[in-house]
A and B are shown apart, each in its own frame.
Chain A
Amino acid sequence: MSRVFQSKKKSLTQTAQQFSARSPAMKLIRIDACDDEWRALVMLDTKTLAQRSDGTIKTASPIVIGIRYHERFLAEAPHPCEIVTVFQPVGVFHPNCARSGAMCLGHPPAGLGLDFILHQVWAGLNYNMRTVNTRPFEVLNRDAAEFVRNNAERFPLSTRGLFE
């Protein structure tokens, strides 16, 4: 493991703790830092949409996400869906989330910061329409994209920022 990643892991942990302390809506559940990876479980006190097993679409809260940061992200642009996983609510119903929980962050650059990830996730799961992509054939959940386009007046679910 490189020294650069060692210091990156420290900075990721510091940023996560600072966000958790500063934000009334975010709680850091745990951090795991092994050789080549840094992982964190984070709870967000806000609502998003989830589809139940009977097909109904409801708002659900809180949200639990997992963030995974690999050493190679420092220099290689990561796959947009390999950084964030939405664990709760199960069956998250979002145009940019796969049913497995994988969330697409658009085009994340190499060496992206944790602040970028957290703000992007917050805005996305709150359906801030500046970050949600609903264009057909460009989404991970087409039903969710159609639902969002047809119910545009319902969004965003919250206008709060992560630090408000």
Chain B
Amino acid sequence: MTAVPPRQRLPLVQLADMLDCDPAPTEGQRAALRKISIYNVGYGSVARPMDDRLAEFGVEEFTLADPKRYRAESILSQCESDEVGLCKVEAGLRRLGANARIAAFPTDVFELPDGLVGENTIVVSSVDNRRADIGANRLATRMRALFVKVNIETAYDYIAIRCYDFRTRPALCAECQYSERMYSQQRHPRSCDDGPQRQTGAPRWLSQTAGDAAALVIAQLADEATAARWLGRQWQLSLSTGEAGFSELSPSPRCRWNHNNHWPHLLRRPGGPETVSLKDLLNEADMPGDSKTCVQFCQQVATAACCESCLAHLNGVWWLSELRRPLGTCAKCGGVLLAVPYWMYRQIHADGLASVIDRPLAEWGVPASAVIALVRGRRKRSYVIGNNQANGFPNTNRG
């Protein structure tokens, strides 16, 4: 009979026994960990101890995305008293920044360009809202990355870690296990009232144990020699009973996400958005900028804006990472220009972009790490602008 573990952070050795792996990564795993980058969707009570542990194991690059700040209640679950009021990712930058390259974004994952997921990136979702989970799953699929989803269930002292491989045609994604109800429970974090922030209230020892377990799993995943037994499977641990085990994840033919939806023939360009125009990309792809060439974006573009003060309507092209963010100032009155939602697009024919085709991408708001795809008939090319450097963003210590 399995002994019930005490309600405290489990020692790494005991956890490694349950995971059937070594508590310290092997030399091969350490070498692999130095080459990977971790993209955290959610930097909360689980991701924080997980990243601390991964940094110990040798991971040198992290991308943190979480829009929340620590509140007084967070002291119980995840932060120190002097961190209350601080953005979670800002705290992450301080904790990990001395020994690792960090890009910290106090935003929703949907507001970040896809290209932040690099070639050797593992996307890790440890969020308490369904929408961000979906966003993380889809981001990893589009960028053909490895994806790890960490769940804790406070009521049952339960931890689950699921691993997905989107590098080649995946039959399985995290949404395969979703029911209709799970989709309908989502809420967008930005409304007129910005919505209530959900508080998980998970005990710190449970989150820390989940973080440690996820770090051990990621160490196994990073190394091709040990990755296979984790992919497409779930590892779960019930701390109420002490039982741990694996289960196979099964693909669903009714999954709402197209698993083959990825950026085709993705090329990482060295130059940032200041040095390249849409015409350069079209020339590189050998496609003319006419109505038969379709341009797809990882975020939205607006083709009309309205001045908040004088209500003048302007036509143009503006990249939008967030709908309510000002696009610029009105030339007539100096008022704030806002996007007109009806005229927003994820894809548009190249001739509709004639006004910006020769201009550097940065001039119409394209950020570093944005992904732009060009499609003409069966020919498809995608470009990451800026070679996965988080330059141009605040809160980064990456070069």
Contact = CB atoms under 8 A, between A and B. Distances in A.
Interface stretch (B18-26, B240-248, B335-343): B335-343
Interface stretch (A15-23, A94-102, A147-155, A156-164): A94-102
A4 B195 CA distance: 29
B187 A107 contact: yes
Interface of A is mostly: loop
Interface stretch (B96-104, B147-155, B285-293, B303-311): B303-311
A140 B341 CA distance: 14
Contact of B188 (A67, A85, A108, A139): A108
A18 B135 CA distance: 34
A115 interface: no
A81 B341 contact: yes
A148 B338 CA distance: 24
A68 B186 CA distance: 20
B192 A140 contact: yes
Contact of A107 (B195, B257, B311): B195
Contacts, number: 108
A66 B342 CA distance: 6
A80 B192 contact: yes
Given A76-B135, A78-B188, A138 B193 contact: yes
B335 to A, nearest CB: 9
B258 to A, nearest CB: 6
Nearest to B185: A109
A30 to B, nearest CB: 12
A37 B345 contact: yes
Interface string B106-137: 00001000000000000000000001001100
A135 interface: yes
A31 to B, nearest CB: 13
A2 interface: yes
Given A36-B347, A79-B323, A102 B340 contact: yes
Given A37-B345, A76-B131, A100 B339 contact: yes
B229 interface: no
Contacts of B339: 100, 102
Contacts of A140: 192
A102 B115 CA distance: 29
A47 to B, nearest CB: 19
Interface size class of A (residues with CB under 8 A): 35 or more
Contacts of B344: 68, 82
B398 interface: no
B183 A75 contact: yes
Interface string B325-355: 0000000000000111110111100000000
Interface string B286-324: 000000000000000000011011110000000000011
B341 A85 contact: yes
Contact of A76 (B134, B191, B258): B134
A72 B257 CA distance: 9
Contacts of B345: 37
A126 B134 CA distance: 35
Contacts of A2: 258
A100 B175 CA distance: 35
Given A37-B345, A100-B305, A100-B341, 7 more contacts: A35-B347, A66-B341, A75-B134, A85-B342, A96-B192, A102-B338, A138-B194
The 5 closest A-B pairs by CB, nearest first: A66-B342, A100-B306, A138-B193, A100-B338, A85-B342
19 contacts: A37-B346, A66-B342, A68-B341, A79-B190, A80-B188, A81-B324, A82-B341, A82-B344, A85-B340, A85-B341, A99-B311, A99-B338, A100-B306, A101-B341, A107-B195, A110-B183, A111-B184, A138-B193, A140-B192
Interface of B: 110, 131, 134-135, 175, 183-184, 186-188, 190-195, 256-258, 305-306, 308-311, 323-324, 338-342, 344-347
